[in-house]
Structure 1
Amino acid sequence: MPTPDGHTTAIRASRVIGTDVYSTSGDKIGEIEDVMLNKLDNQIMFAVVGFGGFLGFGEKFHAIPWASLDYEKDKGGYIVPFSEEQLKQAPSHSLKELTKDDGAAARDAAFDYYKVERYWVVGAD
């Protein structure tokens, strides 16, 4: 079943990893390095997007809420609804920090920073 944008609702992680990510202005800002999954509730916690760096040195990793990424076929990559400045100011982490406390700290910081509705508390009373 397709999404409202006409995309498939299921995709293999191996197809996502390595895909370019673009800002709203169309500038390439990085690529998807990994996808963080929550095994207990079958949810994608966030995409791990690598920004900057050279040959693996100095690269920053950002947790970006999965629902914020929209695949743009013409670009061959994902567009995020954030400006380049917002992305530069976003919380960044080492890969080890992204998984600390089961990824909750990085997830919460990302959802707070980008002002994205928390999928894990939607409908909770």
Structure 2
Amino acid sequence: MVNTNQHLSATSLIGDDIKNPQGESLGDLKELMIDLGAGTISYAVVAFGGVLGMGEKLFAVPWQSLRVDHENKCLVLNVSKEKLKDAPGFDKSNWPNFSDPTFSEQIGRYYRAG
């Protein structure tokens, strides 16, 4: 029987590696965006590229697009490095409005199309 009632603290996930199913590194988890009205995680903010935080790009990835790999202690996102590089992103000083329906639709379409 699979235990579906698993809980993790946000701090135990922040900083975890994000990989694709092929094992390629796609970055690391910087933040979780929570929908306060629904009480659910909406997005994972993924950092990709750059060196020591300089020049890295941030991406909002729908939480449903990720799965936690407990065995390898990472998150898995089923996209190629190229698709992530081309994803709508932002920098650390210019975050999007996560509540904007247009933003949600754009991000949702991008990751569903993959």
**So what's the TM-score if we normalise by structure 2?**
0.83
Equivalent residue, structure 2, for 1:62:
59
Q: Does 1:29 align with 2:26?
A: yes
**Partners in 2 of 1:101 and 1:66 — Cα distance?**
13
Contact 1:63 1:106 in 2 (8 A): no
**Structure 1 unaligned spans of 5+:** 117-125
Deviation per residue, 1:5-50 (Å, 9 max, x gap):
xx71x22111110110002221111000000111122121100000
The number of residues matched between the two structures is: 112
| Identity across matched positions, percent | 29
Listed as ranges, the matches of 1:75-114 within 5 Å are 75-100=72-97, 102=99, 104-114=101-111
Aligned-residue offset at 1:81? 1.2
What RMSD over aligned residues (CA atoms) do the two structures have, in Å? Answer: 2.3
Aligned residue in 1 for 2:47: 50
Larger strand percent? 2
Give the 3-state SS of the residue equivalent to 2:59 in structure 1.
strand
Q: What are structure 2's unaligned runs of at least 5 residues?
A: none
